[in-house]
Amino acid sequence: MLTCLHIKDFAIADDIKLDLGDGLSIITGETGAGKSIIIKALGLVLGQRAEPGVVKHGCKRAEIQAIFDISKNKAVAGLLAEQELDEDKECQLRRVINAESGSKAYINGRMVTAGMLRKVGELLIDIHGQHEHQSLLRADTQRELLDKYAGINQQVSQIRHCYHKLQQYITQLNQLRSDSSRAHEKLDFLQFQVDELSKFSPQENEWPKLYNNHQRIHHQAELAALVKKAEQTLMGDESSQASLSSKLGLVISELDRAHAIASGFTDISDVLREAQTLLIESETSLQHAAESIDLDEGELEQIEQRYAAYMELARKHRVEPEQLYDTYQVLLSELEIAENPEQNEHALSGEIQALGTQYAELAKTISQKRVSHAQKLSKAITLAIQSLAMEGGEFNIVLQTTPGSSNPGDENSPVSGIGRETGMESISFEVSTNTGMPGMPLSRVASGGELSRISLAIQLILSDLATVNSLVFDEVDVGVGGKTAAIIGKMLAQLAQNRQILCITHLPQVAAYGTRHYHANKQQGKQQEKQVKLSIEALDESGKINEIARMVGGENLSDESLAHARSLIADSITV
């Protein structure tokens, strides 16, 4: 259960803190007041993608923190313990979004990836957005909703994996058969490639070590060359013969003779003698340094040759040097297959037959569950939409088996009857909006308001199956009103008896059912600031009555609107 949501410097929110509890919490406010900011912030702290533009103007970063009581959520507690992120009976999620770029995620004070935040968040709370009815028109969404209701997501994941594995093996088998006409040519070329690499014999994980040794010995060679050149310059070589200290000694002797003729050269001679002493010491130190550099010319040559060969072979095979060993292993496998085509064709055929059997078994189980649960879900949604001002409406989930072939058009395909990656059926949601009328696909029949109500009915039915304890509904009641709105409020209140519900609504009939009520308001900043700010106020009973009265009759509260508000609240208490 979400116990606290703290939002700081996010969009137009300065510093907002919501203390929440169980039951039905309602958030209301005028259109454009910033209610949706709460949902956006909650989505980010649950791991959704973060953009720098959400940071409040003039601020360096935005921070969002959500605190959950997980004392009854074993799935989250187990996952946190497994990742060593557990902290008693509480789970604190925190997201920091920088204005410049990037974001950071934390669980119980420890930095994690946004992916881990999202993984934990999926076990904590479900968010149902106001635009979800638009996705209801997609075939994939319809199938996913039925599969969720049937509880077969794991089996569908398994059949998808089986399907793709089948396609991979079938492609390999077809390739093997199509290559048979030029098998000899391919075999010769493979043999040449394998022989060349076998002679070179690349070893697993050899390249990183070779690269490091190449760098090391090149540095040694460069160092040795530099020291050698310095030594030759200082101590002389065959071309210069004398060392710098010897040449300086000659200069000193010339100055001593000059001093015997005329005074005034003593100071210069003394300075040069000190310099000569330092040069002699430097010659000795440089000799020791040169002797200490251990450069193995044989090792240098060996490493250079191996390195150059790696680079050349990698270039020929169009891979990176570190991939050469894996390339060698792949070529060995391909050569083995090419040398034994019949054996490998038999093995592939066997794998395909086994996977085909597995697919068929999974497909049968999935089909049975879809058929039985499609009938149940159709009846439940029909009852729900009829209570939501669609009295003559009838909802039906149509399943149509679409058997195909693993390789259409190929009579020799080793597997037949393989459908699609999610099973053998195509799934279509159909609705009849009037009694006696035939059902038609949603996209051809339902208006925007009807589609919104159908979506809400499905969400309410499926939310009762949710494994999480907290559900958020963001203005899913758009397009309804009056008696229908009261029914929605009653549905949400009933749902909130066993779960924590947070609902953003613009309908007073829904708001009346709330056990907690929060009012969102957009305020103008101080004169020198000019920026608008979002505030969220927790209302007491009197405040709740006034807010519902405003929703009924506008800003100017009247005795009639206040009386209507009290009446709505009184009616909700009977739930």
Query: pLDDT band for position 374 (50/70/90)?
Result: very high
Tell me the three state secondary structure of residue 225.
Answer: helix
CA distances from 489 to 253, 303, 492, 500, 537 (A): 112, 78, 5, 14, 21
User: What pLDDT is recorded for position 279?
Assistant: 83
Residue 58: CA count within 13 A, CB half-sphere: 7
8-18 pLDDT tens trace: 999 888 889 99
Beta bridge partners of 110: 107
Radius of gyration of the chain (CA): 39
Other Cβ atoms closer than 10 A to 421: 15
* Alpha carbon distance 359, 161 (integer Å): 10
Residue 78: CA count within 13 A, CB half-sphere: 5
Q: Give yes or no for residue 406 having a pLDDT over 70.
A: no
95-117 pLDDT tens trace: 999 988 788 999 998 989 888 99
Query: pTM for this structure?
Result: 0.59
297-338 pLDDT tens trace: 788 888 889 999 999 999 999 988 888 998 898 888 778 777
Q: Where are the alpha helices (DSSP H) in 318-340?
A: 324-339
Would you say residue 12 lies in a domain? yes
The candidate with the shortest Cα–Cα distance to 572, out of 496, 466, 504, is: 496
Contact at 8 Å (CB) between 25 and 505? no
User: What pLDDT is recorded for position 411?
Assistant: 35
User: What pLDDT is recorded for position 132?
Assistant: 59
Tokens for 68, please give them: 């959950």
Query: pLDDT band for position 405 (50/70/90)?
Result: very low
* Alpha carbon distance 20, 503 (integer Å): 12
Would you say residue 535 lies in a domain? yes
* Alpha carbon distance 92, 17 (integer Å): 14
* Alpha carbon distance 7, 209 (integer Å): 50
User: What pLDDT is recorded for position 158?
Assistant: 94
DSSP summary character for residue 55: B
Tokens for 409, please give them: 């058009």
510-531 pLDDT tens trace: 999 999 999 988 876 655 556 7
Cα 425 to the chain's mean position, in Å?
30
Would you say residue 374 lies in a domain? no
| Structural domain for 93, as ranges | 1-124+468-487+494-543+550-557
Tell me the three state secondary structure of residue 300.
Answer: helix
* Alpha carbon distance 168, 166 (integer Å): 5
First to last CA, the chain: 22
User: What pLDDT is recorded for position 412?
Assistant: 40
Tell me the three state secondary structure of residue 63.
Answer: strand
- The dihedral through the CA atoms of 275, 280, 285, 291 has a sign that is positive
Would you say residue 253 lies in a domain? no
Structural domains counted in the chain: 1
Mean pLDDT is lowest, of 131-135, 337-341, 408-412, for 408-412
216-245 pLDDT tens trace: 787 777 777 887 788 778 777 666 567 787
Contact at 8 Å (CB) between 464 and 494? no
Would you say residue 506 lies in a domain? yes
Would you say residue 99 lies in a domain? yes
The candidate with the shortest Cα–Cα distance to 467, out of 53, 123, 114, is: 123
* Alpha carbon distance 217, 36 (integer Å): 63
Please state whether beta strands 61-69 and 24-28 pair in parallel, antiparallel, or not at all (unpaired): unpaired
Q: Give yes or no for residue 170 having a pLDDT over 60.
A: yes
Average pLDDT, the chain: 83
User: What pLDDT is recorded for position 435?
Assistant: 76
Please state whether beta strands 532-538 and 516-524 pair in parallel, antiparallel, or not at all (unpaired): antiparallel
Would you say residue 140 lies in a domain? no
Helix (H) or strand (E) holding 96: strand 90-98
* Alpha carbon distance 35, 230 (integer Å): 75
| CATH number for 6 | 3.40.50.300
Would you say residue 26 lies in a domain? yes
Query: Phi and psi of 480, rounded to 5°?
Result: -125, 170
